[in-house]
Amino acid sequence: MLLFVGLGNPTSDSENNRHNIGFKVIDSINKKFGLSKQKPKFKGLLTTGNIEDEKIYAIKPLTFMNNSGICIRELLEYFKIDVEDVIVFHDDLDVDFGKIKAKFGGSDAGHNGIASIDKFIGKDYSRVRVGIGKPKTKMEVSDYVLQNFDAEETASIEKILENITDSISILIKKKLDLFSSTVNNKK
């Protein structure tokens, strides 16, 4: 049993923000693998199903990025999911646009959504860091992550999501380094 978490903000004007790439990953997984219809539960939008004979729960927290941990803790407690079986998809400024870095544990590196999760469930879970790159002009990080992807980036997003979902069986086995290299080497 695994819990996939996609981080983002739940407002309609946030839908295409860089900060919402985690939501996009969950939507892509739901679509490709035919998980259940999203239902509002545990302060998030929850879907369930099976992928590779593994029971999967997938959630998009509706608590806003900075309070993501609240939603996740409730869900873990209810379904008795181990923290080690949580995989969080989120944006990362320190990773080049479109690149993926998966790892287990670590620091929040200034990401408020990850900091919230760490506060509520600890740090012993997997993270799939989806690169959004750094701003090309001088601007506040908070402004940059809340901007929509530009036209060139938007054209690449679907391929990035496809590469992630095509490699999901590797991620389910928690082979994080192999998952990262497989996704990053797809054309």
**Which residues fall within 8 angstroms of residue 139, CB to CB, at 6 or more apart?**
none
The one-letter amino acid code at 179 reads F
In angstroms, the CA 144 to CA 94 distance is 13
Does residue 90 carry a catalytic annotation?
no
First to last CA, the chain: 31
Catalytic site residue from 2, 7, 19, 93: 19
The DSSP code for 183 is: H
CB 10 within 8 A of CB 60: yes
Q: How far does CA 86 lie from the centroid of its chain? A: 11
**Which residues fall within 8 angstroms of residue 50, CB to CB, at 6 or more apart?**
56
Which residues form the catalytic set?
19
